Structure 1
Amino acid sequence: MLYFSYGSFMSMDVLKQHCPSAKKISTAVLPNFEVVFNYYSKNYKGGCTGAEFVPGKIAYGVLYDISEEEMLHLDQVEGVYSAKYFRQEVVIITEEGRLEKAFIYRTTNPSGPHETTRAYLGKLLVGAKENHLPDEYVEKLQRHFDSLPES
């Protein structure tokens, strides 16, 4: 199953904790969506990412192939069964320009925006860097990270 991550699971090390058989397919973009901190996490004590429909915007991320069993596990991790997030099939564009159907997780009841934490944003930053996402996006994440108080 194809899974597009725009959040903390962009990092292979983070994703492999839950999906050991995950294979990176490509970096990709989700057109007409924006990554925002629209879910407040009690675990992180701050905002976590969600993708909101915004015409003209682009959400950067990573396309992975994971097993159906691992996707069901991600449903649990992402809080699908407790209505925190829901899984949605979307069309993404790979770095090679191919259109692919993939699943994303979106916030069920978006709120905020919420300030995020270094602990959470650090995972996004690692994933963005290790996957060589566009420099301007990595720099934006880095500036945000640098502006956050140390815990």
Structure 2
Amino acid sequence: MTQYYFSFGSNMSAHRLKARLPDAKRIGVARLHGYELAFDMLSLDGSGKCTIHPHDERLVYGVVWQLNVEEQEQLHRIEGPRYDVAHVDVVLSENEQLLSAFCYVANTVDKVALPFDWYVQHVHLGAQEANLPKTYIESIKNQASVEDLNRERRQHEMQIHLKE
């Protein structure tokens, strides 16, 4: 059985998601109304990662991926226990079709934690790749971040964008 996954963070990037789930199929760009994007999920490495929060006047852009059951289970293991699985209705930008999908919403939030620079780059590159609205892409690019002093981790994270 296939599932639709709405990614609004680093998994918008095909390079990032395909490194994790090589057989995932990109369905298209979508909007989630009534939420806003935030970088305040407290990760195990102490940095902030993407999540969404309810907000009546905002919307979140992202990419919908089609996954099989095994891929969904693998992604649940990767994303881990600091996220809850939520089911949302998104609107595909290409044809305005309403689609039910799952996404990950943080259950551990820290409004002070900042994302690592490489993580913001994952999200920014994914937003560019998806051709999201320029103002949305700019808001991601301008997200405050901290330099990851673990050079090996940073290099590992960014080299997936160098592969073709």
TM-score over 0.5 for the alignment? Answer: yes
Residue deviations 1:23-48 (CA, integer Å, cap 9, x gap): 111100111011112212233x4210
Per the alignment, residue 48 of structure 2 pairs with 47
- 2:115, 2:146 within 8 Å by CA — same for their partners in 1? no
- What amino acid maps onto 2:121 in structure 1? G
Normalised by the size of structure 1, how large is the TM-score?
0.89
Distance 1:150 1:53 in 2: 29
Per-residue deviation, 1:142: 1.9
Per the alignment, residue 4 of structure 2 pairs with 2
Per-residue deviation, 1:148: 4.1
Per-residue deviation, 1:88: 1.1
Further displaced range: 104-113 or 46-55: 104-113
Q: Which 5+ residue runs of structure 1 have no aligned equivalent?
A: none
Distance 1:77 1:149 in 2: 23
Per the alignment, residue 139 of structure 1 pairs with 138
Q: Which 5+ residue runs of structure 2 have no aligned equivalent?
A: 149-164
- What amino acid maps onto 2:137 in structure 1? V
**How does 1:20-59 map onto structure 2 within 5 Å?**
20-43=22-45, 45-59=46-60
Per the alignment, residue 62 of structure 1 pairs with 63
- 2:40, 2:114 within 8 Å by CA — same for their partners in 1? no
Residue deviations 1:107-151 (CA, integer Å, cap 9, x gap): 11333152222111000001000110111111112223xx54544
Further displaced range: 135-144 or 10-19: 135-144
RMSD: 1.5
Per the alignment, residue 88 of structure 1 pairs with 86
- What amino acid maps onto 1:114 in structure 2? A
Distance 1:102 1:53 in 2: 17
Per the alignment, residue 121 of structure 1 pairs with 120
Distance 2:85 2:28 in 1: 20
Distance 2:58 2:106 in 1: 18
- 1:36, 1:113 within 8 Å by CA — same for their partners in 2? no
2:114 partner SS: coil
